[in-house]
Amino acid sequence: GENVEQHPSTLSVQEGDSAVIKCTYSDSASNYFPWYKQELGKRPQLIIDIRSNVGEKKDQRIAVTLNKTAKHFSLHITETQPEDSAVYFCAASEDSWGKFQFGAGTQVVVTP
């Protein structure tokens, strides 16, 4: 089955700097890669996703890049703000049942 590794486990950045989280996956058949943000005590919420036929996708200050050959994808947050502080999860999916394999999560702390 699919295995997703996520790094780093914690990330501290100064407000205004950029943050990058990287994930690798094992199953070359995976074709859909969402990212979730989870604030303390809240539910995970989808913030951006990318399909395997696309190399990059942007939405305001966040972007995701996908390298199918190397089987890794990354989340980029630019001009970080305190409200970006949260746990971020990557995931990969390849089958029609839509089961996601999640990474272990990255705790992002943005300090003013």
Partner 1 sequence: DAGITQSPRHKVTETGTPVTLRCHQTENHRYMYWYRQDPGHGLRLIHYSYGVKDTDKGEVSDGYSVSRSKTEDFLLTLESATSSQTSVYFCAIRADAFYGYTFGSGTRLTVV
Residue 55 contacts residue 61 (beta carbons within 8 Å):
no
Tell which one of 23, 25, 64, 89 touches partner 1 (CB under 8 A).
89
Residue 62 touches partner 1, criterion: CB under 8 A: no
Q: Is 18 helix (H, G, I), strand (E, B) or coil?
A: coil
Residue 101 contacts residue 1 (beta carbons within 8 Å):
yes
Residue 102 touches partner 1, criterion: CB under 8 A: yes
Residue 90 contacts residue 75 (beta carbons within 8 Å):
yes
Burial of 96 (0-12, 13-18, 19+ CB in 10 A): exposed
Count interface residues toward partner 1 (CB under 8 A): 24
Q: Which residues pair with 101 in a beta bridge?
A: 92
Residue 64 touches partner 1, criterion: CB under 8 A: no
Residue with Cβ nearer partner 1 (78 or 102) = 102
Residue 75 touches partner 1, criterion: CB under 8 A: no
Stretch that binds partner 1, among 18-26, 34-42, 55-63, 73-81 (CB under 8 A): 34-42
Residue 65 touches partner 1, criterion: CB under 8 A: no
